[in-house]
Structure 1
Amino acid sequence: MKVVVQVKLLPDAVQAPALEATLRMVNRAASHAAAVAFHTGKTSRNDLQKEVYAGLKADFGLSAQAAVRTVKKVVDAYATLRANMRAGNLGPEGSKRHRKAESKPIVFRADAAQPYDDRILSWQYDARTVSIWTTAGRLKGVRYTGQPDHLKTLREYRRGETDLMYRGGKWFLLAVCEIPEPQVYQPVDWIGVDRGTTNLATTSDGANYQGRRLTRYRRWHTKKRGELQVKKTRSAKRRARRRARRESRHASHINHRISKEVVAVAQRTRRGIALEQLDGIRERGTASRDQRARLSSWPFAQLGAFVAYKCRRAGVPYLEVDARYTSQHCPRCGHTARNNRPSRDHFRCRRCGLAGPADHVAGVNVRDRARSAWAFVNTPVPQRN
């Protein structure tokens, strides 16, 4: 499986300006190539490279391989744009956002990430340095650092290209690593996980990861962003974006922590992990006005994605099951009714009297559905005589 390892570059006072000038120049060149692709309609790699390759070298001072990587960057950007349009991520055809996206060429930010390959960036793992191409010449001995497990993964499994990124006044390298996937073991049982907003995750074992602190944190950031948006100045907009990124990083950190703990328990007990399928969760019911923003921005899918890829890395079986009525279905007698859940936090079966926390009951139902699904998939097909 492919993973991206991030390490921090530590350029000195001479190296940093060269990296900054390079990033600005290659993104100017990429914007030029994107404009040519837009006006000529040539968005395939070979056709676009024939159009702009000589100009990127002569007019922007790019080396041969840097020009090739810049063309590939532009081609990938247009491929992503077309995919988003087909998926409806930019609104329906004819909408203002859709028309705006298709009516002008792609423009790259001055500090947008730039891809490098092994011809223009080489690693010295023992010295923890890289040699990297810049418009001012080859920079050798640029130091980098990172977490010990990231550095170990980088040394053993790095394959493919590396992106140079400038973010928040710091330099980073994002390297693609190809990690072999362990064989998935046969689970002895399953852990059902119910996701929510009040409780971020509740397992069938009874483990509960509350979201109240994160809710307060997000509400506070929303209030501060609103205060900044009222000012309508460039500085206020920049600070609002910085707050949004900080909030997103905090939510991602919490989702990483939850998924890591759940996967570790499953691996230790030789069980699988089952989650609800939450496709179209925002369309299933109506929410009050003050709940819409919270539901639309809540990282449900991110937590599921983190659990899924951590399961793949650990060889833990992973399933997604039908989410319908998991919080209204009684796991003991099978009775399903809306009034089995008299409040958000409580479950009480109207037929057999089973009672407990609603999210825990939902986690148990997810686990039971995973048991049934796994048994059905692994049941041997009877042989015909």
Structure 2
Amino acid sequence: MRPTVHDIAAEAGVSLATVDRVLNNRPGVRAVTRDKVEQAIETLGYVRDVAAANLAKGRTYPLIFIMPAGDNSFMRGLEAEVRAATVRSAAERTEITILTVPAFNAQALAEALAEAHRRQPAGVAVVAIEAPEVTAAVKRLRDDGIAVVTLVSDLPGSARDHFAGVDNVAAGRTAGSLMGRFLGNREGPVAVLAGSMLVRDHRDRLEGFQAVMRDCFGTRALLPVVEGQDDAALAEKLVAALIDAHPDLAGIYSIGAGNRGLVAALEKAGKAGTICVVAHELTAYSRAALLSGTIDALLNQDAGHEVRSAIRVLKAKADGLAVIAAQERIRIDIFLKDNLPSGQV
């Protein structure tokens, strides 16, 4: 059996109140008595259950989530999951605040991180942009003892504590394998529609996709990446231009959230179902396009799992506890129209 505070009190010959003062580093204990308690703790091998202690004390965890604004369907779904977590706040002992910033705006994100720092939360979860000012803002938070989890898009090389998201290189490689196999011997180049190369998840997906297309389907031409800023109108214009410039276009890999514009361009050009499309994230729009055959395959990440993971990790870091890696691994789901989960997105 694990030793308890009662065992410590008996070993040291002191009261439970004295043990509590020593464990919580409160005054009112003579040095010789404190030494006895600490020696008993070492002798018994006592390890304090910080989470249980905080539960007993009714500790709450103020957390801040920083997310991009705009009409990105996946991000709005992610935000909905954060808001759902606020409903569970009483049970999870959290106080969650959401800050939104313009998408792909590194300076605005750095300022939001600075605002979060001023509020002194227990932890911050942020959809990251890889930029020096953002990395510096994360470091300032960590230097002040505030835990940071990157959400969906990582910031490797920074001082962040944990990344709650999928392996995006693996996701890109999966997309490349699907694209190459679906196209088979069909001729024509493949286009890549990204949101922005400022975010690590899009760059990692591109890296994985290009590696598989090069190594396994090397005769297939890849067109230069176009960036739609995850804006439906801009994505529609860019895809329409690609179709006009390349009448033999065989496939499109949509890395980001421009799927509404992509689908609109394909339908207007009469190319829906004839150009192979592999895209990301299951939303109401992408579900409909998958069912209609405009999109051939979707790679999805569970936004709810990511939010719950971020909360668990931030609370664990605030308590100085270890993170259970297997519990926090976010899987990559592959959906075809044949295996779509039932219900609305």
Q: TM-score, normalised by structure 1?
A: 0.25
Q: TM-score, normalised by structure 2?
A: 0.27
Structure of greater relative contact order (alpha carbons < 8 Å, 6+ residues apart)? 1
